[in-house]
Amino acid sequence: MRSDAEGLVMTATGSLVLPVARDRDLRLILEDYGLLEQFEAGEILCDHCGSQLSWDNLGAVVTSGEKLKLYCDLPDCIEQVSTKTD
Ligand SMILES: [Zn+2]
């Protein structure tokens, strides 16, 4: 896990854990980026594999400046998060 990724936040499936009990925080993050409605409508896709994301399969949320990248909980996609630095 690289530590230079900015604002890296992951859910319980990752090694940097945002406890599941804090899903509310994820919700706030999504809201902050104006993505909450889209997310809940199933319009947000995993940035790596393109799977439709939901609260059930959301594996990681990465804030990168103005952008928010979301990944599903597949090991491959979580791997992307830990290796991406841009
Ligand atoms: Zn994925």
Structure token pair of residue 8: 């890296």
In the reported structure, the alpha carbon of residue 55 is separated from the centroid of ligand 1 by a whole-number distance in angstroms of: 13
* Residue 69 φ then ψ, to 5°: -110, 135
Give the C-alpha separation, 33 to 3, whole Å.
Answer: 23
In the reported structure, the alpha carbon of residue 74 is separated from the centroid of ligand 1 by a whole-number distance in angstroms of: 6
Give the C-alpha separation, 58 to 61, whole Å.
Answer: 8
pLDDT tens digits for 29-47?
A: 888 889 999 999 999 999 9
pTM of the model: 0.69
In the reported structure, the alpha carbon of residue 46 is separated from the centroid of ligand 1 by a whole-number distance in angstroms of: 5
Q: 69: which strand partners? A: 62
Answer for the pair 11, 58: CB distance below 8 angstroms, yes or no.
yes
In the reported structure, the alpha carbon of residue 52 is separated from the centroid of ligand 1 by a whole-number distance in angstroms of: 8
In which band, very low, low, confident or very high, does the pLDDT at 19 lie, cut at 50, 70 and 90?
Answer: very low
Neighbours of 56 (CB within 10 A): 7
